[in-house]
Structure 1
Amino acid sequence: MRFKQAFKPFVLTLCLMSFFSLSSCKDDDNEVTWEWDDEEVANIDKPKVIWVDAAANFPDFANSKENILRDLKLAKEAGFTHVVVDVRPTTGDVLFKTDVVDQVKWLGAWLPEGYSKIERTATWDYLDAFIETGHSLGLKIFAGINTFSGGNATSLGGEGLLFRDATKKSWATELLTESGIINTLDKGGSGSKFFNPVNEEVQNFLLQLVEDLAAYENLDGIILDRGRFDEFGSDFSDYTKAKFEQFLGHQVANFPNDVMVPGTKPGNLPSTLPVYFKQWLEFRAKVIHDFMESARNRVKGVNPDIQFGVYVGGWYSVYYGVGVNWASPDYNTSAYYSQWASKNYQTYGYADHMDVMLIGAYAAPTKVYGSNEWTIQGFCQQAKDKIRKDAVVIGGPDIGNGAWATESDATINSAITQSVDAAINACDGYFLFDMIHLKLKNQWPYVKEGIDEAISTEK
């Protein structure tokens, strides 16, 4: 049993103290000691987190430490306290020291003249530059990785391990489609090409990566993004079928139809489910749960003080579609979602293995307040309830995609300011995706206004 499980009544304050200071307190006998109380943590002390996507920000940061300093200063001045820098983009290659996979040589990004290849010619360490610069400004630096991404296909071509090494095709996920089961590399199309999370070779490869990342001196934390299956139709390989049959304890004669019918969509399930459907959801959630537990253990084995966490989408009601139960194992999923969740589903909630969880409260700019999913406030409130104080819960919006890209500037700017209040008072902090959006429209003043108001108006 982990420490924070044993002392659960005090876990929120303890975790926030640990997350914000990112250091343990030790007495003269080198025993870990803590101070806490039951009062709510003030907004001024809650983390304010900004994400830095690798590809979108690559034109500025790939080859310029000066630009990193410039923009981290802007983040600090706006009131952010923590930065998550993406060091394993969707290509699956990396921007940190490791011998496990190649370094990023180029990424595609949108420039005024169109989608273009941005090459990295600098030889200095990308992650170290963020750590050194961020710490000089008093910011905490977390490294984010696209966990189960193995390659990325764009109009510029394919990049990453799955495109570079034909022997790794068996690592790629196989998708259930209306036309049959096909390897994601054979399906074609653009976007991230996922590994199969069930594959033990894939898992060992990724665990070595996070272990190398944890070895970074002075890195404050690690956040796993895309720690999930590709989609609802993933993975239906023979490999995964055999692992599922081991999970069941017997063979499945009519695969995949006794598991899932092609074309099934999360949130729009048939009234009659296949015989093994709920057990299939259990199995997928167990795969991700067990990987997260292993990743935490590997990270903490290298550095017990580093913070470990995940980014997940706040839409829990349909998140089973990507094989993830991010709630606490104390949250009885089947009591609320009996259509798809078995009584055993809650066993594979992994929140108790996390120090911090970033919640994508990705509602529209016209849906800031409310108590339901698909409002920023509701996403945060519901995540807080489901996580049951097992981890620090930090939520907030994506301010550049979906309706955020089409609404008027006045609506968006106001929503950015309001999003701070909606999120920070509903959970344990504020999270914004992505730095590039603030930069493109110079929207820093609006998030600063929201952070300042959240602090100044607090009783």
Structure 2
Amino acid sequence: MEQSNILWVDFLANGNRLLKKEKMEELINNAVKANITHIVIDAKIPYGFSTFPSKYAYHVSEMKDEQYHGWKDRDFLQEFIDIAKGTELKIIANVDIFAEGNGLTREGIVYDRPHWQVVHYDQALSNMPTAAENKYDPTVFVNPIHPEVEAHELNIIKEVIGKYEVDGIVLDRCRYPNIFGDFSNLSRTEFEKYTGHVIENWPEDIFTVHNMKPNFGPLFPKWAEWRAKNIKNFVHKAKNIVKHVNSDLIFSIYVGSWYPLYYNEGVNWASKMYHPSLAWTSEDYHTSAYAEEFDFIMTGCYYPEVYIEEAIQNNRPANWYSVEGAIEMSNEAIQGQIPVIASLYLKDYTNNVGQFRKAVELCKERTSGVMLFDTVYVEDYKWWNDLEDILLKYSK
């Protein structure tokens, strides 16, 4: 795979500004000028709403937030495809998978189908976080192994690639919300089938919670393996759907780069060639790895520190709490089996264009490209010229 420069367009962050078509056109023109090769466009957002008219999901214009009501009877995805025609930009549709509601506004399909919702370890526990990366994230997750959930998510993927001339699909939030979910009766039954025996102390044999932190029990390594295999099974089905329609369609995913902590998300995004030896991994954990299912993987190297030495100076707990360290971790886990594209959270470089430039350059030098999240920051910080300058240097 040639070097790729990927720009993400998050609907929630950009939808209001992009109500005007000329703003969409301006974005596409700026992206082409800056040597962007791929644009990721939200087809389904974290709360389960679609940006296009769907048979299966509510439309974004039906959200309670009035700023999105201007999208009524419009198709965000198709409009981007139309405007990008005639350019060399590849359009990848993003589908947020196991995220189907907004817990603050209490809206989304999960409120129609509460039996889909993730059951947390102890739902009586106050202040239970809903997402591993941010306890204040209102996203409501659904149980990945519920048959109705699986069918729903696969139907939306089929719908997108069946209706739209996209160049590929990227999966996001294709995971569990965090370590505390899912502990439903369905998950217990299926895990007992997997292990071949009844769990005497449920859920304490998996882990106990003290001060909102888990203490791993004797079954946790097997539990981590099983959860990761559940996600791998879904990914395999999604890939078959995409490649059956067109084997040339891109099939990719976004994950966080913090592999040693990814038991939170219940995902093993490494190559099956990688045999990690961590406190929470089983001997067979590598069998749950799914990297080989994808054409490339985008790993979030979301740190303000670019180099490892900066992380050390700032007393970060590990070297991989830096862009450089995260890239090293990503490359180690993927084992060269598929291209890795390091991804940056541009808000980490607010008021520091020099650090932004260093980060982009490092991603370009050490991986198969860079993914920039999100467009809104390039706009707000007026970084288009800087981006063009950096990416032009690597296009020669």
Letter in 2 for 1:225: D
Name the SS for the 2:262 alignment partner: helix
Give, in whole Å, the separation in 2 of the partners of 1:379 and 1:182.
Answer: 30
1:108 CA displacement: 7.6
1:78 CA displacement: 1.6
Letter in 2 for 1:50: L
TM-score, normalising length: structure 2: 0.90
Q: Is residue 40–residue 92 contact of structure 2 (8 Å, CA) maintained in 1?
A: yes
Q: 2:177 aligns with which of 230, 249, 253?
A: 230
- 1:373 equivalent in structure 2: 320
Q: 1:333 aligns with which of 276, 293, 301?
A: 276
The worse-fitting range, judged by mean Cα deviation, of 422-431 and 377-386 is: 377-386
1:105 CA displacement: 1.3
Letter in 1 for 2:371: F
Unaligned runs of 5+ in 2: 310-318
* Mapping for residues 163-312 of structure 1, pairs under 5 Å: 163=111, 165=112, 168-177=113-122, 179=124, 191-263=138-210, 270=215, 273-312=216-255
1:215 CA displacement: 1.4
Give, in whole Å, the separation in 1 of the partners of 2:327 and 2:128.
Answer: 36
1:260 CA displacement: 1.3
Give, in whole Å, the separation in 1 of the partners of 2:90 and 2:282.
Answer: 40
- 1:423 equivalent in structure 2: 363
- 2:16 equivalent in structure 1: 59
1:444 CA displacement: 1.5
The question of 1:393 aligning with 2:340 is answered yes
- 2:314 equivalent in structure 1: none
Give, in whole Å, the separation in 1 of the partners of 2:63 and 2:30.
Answer: 24
Q: How many residues align?
A: 383
The question of 1:348 aligning with 2:288 is answered yes
Give, in whole Å, the separation in 2 of the partners of 1:321 and 1:121.
Answer: 35
Q: Is residue 90–residue 149 contact of structure 1 (8 Å, CA) maintained in 2?
A: yes
- 1:414 equivalent in structure 2: 354
- 1:89 equivalent in structure 2: 45
Q: Is residue 295–residue 338 contact of structure 2 (8 Å, CA) maintained in 1?
A: yes
The question of 1:46 aligning with 2:24 is answered no
The question of 1:128 aligning with 2:72 is answered no
- Evaluate the alpha carbon distance shift between residue 431 and residue 307 of structure 1 in structure 2; reply closer, same or farther with a 3 A threshold: same
Letter in 1 for 2:342: G
> Kindly, what percent of the aligned residue pairs are identical?
28
1:387 CA displacement: 1.1
1:180 CA displacement: 5.3
Letter in 1 for 2:343: G
Give, in whole Å, the separation in 1 of the partners of 2:152 and 2:165.
Answer: 24
Name the SS for the 2:121 alignment partner: strand
1:189 CA displacement: 7.3
Q: 1:105 aligns with which of 40, 52, 61?
A: 61
Q: Is residue 227–residue 288 contact of structure 1 (8 Å, CA) maintained in 2?
A: yes
Give, in whole Å, the separation in 2 of the partners of 1:264 and 1:304.
Answer: 48
Give, in whole Å, the separation in 1 of the partners of 2:109 and 2:361.
Answer: 42
Letter in 2 for 1:171: W
Give, in whole Å, the separation in 2 of the partners of 1:427 and 1:249.
Answer: 42
1:103 CA displacement: 1.7
Give, in whole Å, the separation in 2 of the partners of 1:90 and 1:229.
Answer: 13
Name the SS for the 1:310 alignment partner: strand
- Evaluate the alpha carbon distance shift between residue 281 and residue 194 of structure 1 in structure 2; reply closer, same or farther with a 3 A threshold: same
Name the SS for the 1:120 alignment partner: helix
1:46 CA displacement: 0.8
Give, in whole Å, the separation in 2 of the partners of 1:121 and 1:295.
Answer: 28
Letter in 2 for 1:144: N
1:426 CA displacement: 1.0
- 1:71 equivalent in structure 2: 27
- 1:32 equivalent in structure 2: none
Q: Is residue 172–residue 184 contact of structure 1 (8 Å, CA) maintained in 2?
A: no
Give, in whole Å, the separation in 2 of the partners of 1:455 and 1:307.
Answer: 22
Higher-Rg member (1/2): 1
Give, in whole Å, the separation in 1 of the partners of 2:393 and 2:54.
Answer: 42
Q: Is residue 106–residue 117 contact of structure 1 (8 Å, CA) maintained in 2?
A: no
Q: Is residue 48–residue 82 contact of structure 1 (8 Å, CA) maintained in 2?
A: yes
1:205 CA displacement: 1.0
- 1:39 equivalent in structure 2: none
- Evaluate the alpha carbon distance shift between residue 432 and residue 264 of structure 1 in structure 2; reply closer, same or farther with a 3 A threshold: farther
Unaligned runs of 5+ in 1: 1-15, 17-44, 110-115
Give, in whole Å, the separation in 2 of the partners of 1:170 and 1:181.
Answer: 21
Residues 57-112 of structure 1, C-alpha deviations (whole Å, 9 max, x = no match): 01122x33222111111111122111001121122011134312222215588xxx
